[in-house]
Amino acid sequence: MLSHEITLDLIKKAQNGDQNAKTILIEENSPLVKSVIKKFQNKNIEYDDLYQLGCVGFLKAVNNFKPDFNVKFSTYVVPMIIGEIKRFLRDDGAIKVSRAVKTQNRHIMKYIEDYKKQNQKKPSLAEIAKHFNLEQQELIFIMDSSKMPISIYTPLESEDNGLLLIDRYIQNDESEIIMDKILLKQALSSLDERSKKIVLLRFFRDKTQSEIAQTLNISQVQVSRLENKILSLIKEKLKVEEN
């Protein structure tokens, strides 16, 4: 990764139209772009398309970044990349079935559920069609629409709760979670080798302080002190990155 000073210099050149500076920035920050788009790989988008979207978001960040933001460029660029991918998901969520049909289908499904609760059985097609003043063939089409592709911006369940399908679609990939992981990775990368080993053994391999002491040939007291120091450094690093 480029140093903060070199990155700022390249950004300034890129903003002044230097295409070579943009190329260098993208090439050097390619691992960062890939680490972000990895979170969206299960969204039925080709990897190359995801990477291109990530680069578009990256270049937007280059164009908009200012040193007086008082954050590292890597911190600023992550939500820009995520935003570009989410924008694509939103705009590409083409509605194959009209919104009116989907809305009516939700009303029908609610009617069926209410009917079952009151009568302990499902209503017949004729009863449903009569209730909604529909022909049975039209009713069948509307009910089958639930099996067709729908917009990721379709309201979920209740029309009044404000939740959309996209809220559930990407609930495990929230920007904050991705940011936290990337910031933590950056914080860990700044540690020396012994500190990294302590973090690995303690928090990823679930070793006790005594076991770590034996592995590193130091005392348990030293391990305890080092662990506290490492955690303090990481917390301080995360504060700097987030502010």
pLDDT grade, residue 218 (50/70/90)? very high
Phi/psi-derived region of residue 217, left when phi > 0, alpha when psi is between -120 and 50, beta in every other case = left
What is d(CA 137, CA 146) in angstroms, rounded to the nearest whole number?
15
* Per-residue pLDDT tens over the stretch 191-214: 888 998 898 888 777 788 888 999
Sign of CA dihedral 37, 40, 41, 44: negative
Range with lowest mean pLDDT among 33-42, 107-116, 139-148, 204-213: 139-148
pLDDT reading at 153 higher than 70:
no
With bands split at pLDDT 50, 70 and 90, how would you rate the model's confidence at 181? low
pLDDT score recorded for residue 16 = 93
How confident is the model over 127-154, as a mean pLDDT?
69
pLDDT for position 24: 92
pTM over 0.85: no
Q: Are 97 and 150 in contact (CB under 8 A)?
A: yes
Return the H-helix or E-strand segment holding 101.
Answer: helix 99-119
- Cβ neighbourhood burial of 154 (10 Å; 0-12, 13-18, 19+): middle
Residues near 117 by beta carbon (within 8 Å), at least 6 away in sequence: none
Confidence at residue 43, expressed as pLDDT on a 0 to 100 scale: 67
pLDDT averaged over every residue in the chain: 77
All domains of the chain in start order, with CATH: 4-93 (1.20.120.1810), 99-150 (1.10.10), 190-242 (1.10.10)
Give the model's pLDDT for residue 238.
Answer: 63
**pLDDT per position as a tens digit, 54-105:** 999 999 999 988 887 777 788 888 888 888 888 787 665 444 445 677 788 8
How many whole angstroms separate alpha carbon 203 and alpha carbon 180?
17
- pLDDT-derived band at 15 (thresholds 50, 70, 90) equals very high
Q: Which residue has the higher pLDDT, 70 or 222?
A: 222
| Residue 197: DSSP 8-state | H
- Model confidence at 167: pLDDT above 60: no
Which residue pairs from 140-148 have beta carbons closer than 8 angstroms and sit at least 24 positions apart in sequence?
141/101, 142/101, 142/104, 142/105, 142/108, 143/105, 143/108, 145/97, 145/101, 145/102, 145/105, 146/102, 146/105, 146/109, 148/96, 148/97
Find which of 36-45, 103-112, 138-147 is predicted with most confidence, using mean pLDDT.
Answer: 103-112
Contacts (Cβ under 8 Å, ≥6 apart) of 232: none
CA gyration radius for the chain?
A: 26
Please tell me which of 39-53, 161-175, 184-198, 203-217 the model is most confident about, judged by mean pLDDT: 203-217
| Choice between 163 and 142, residue whose per-residue pLDDT is larger | 142
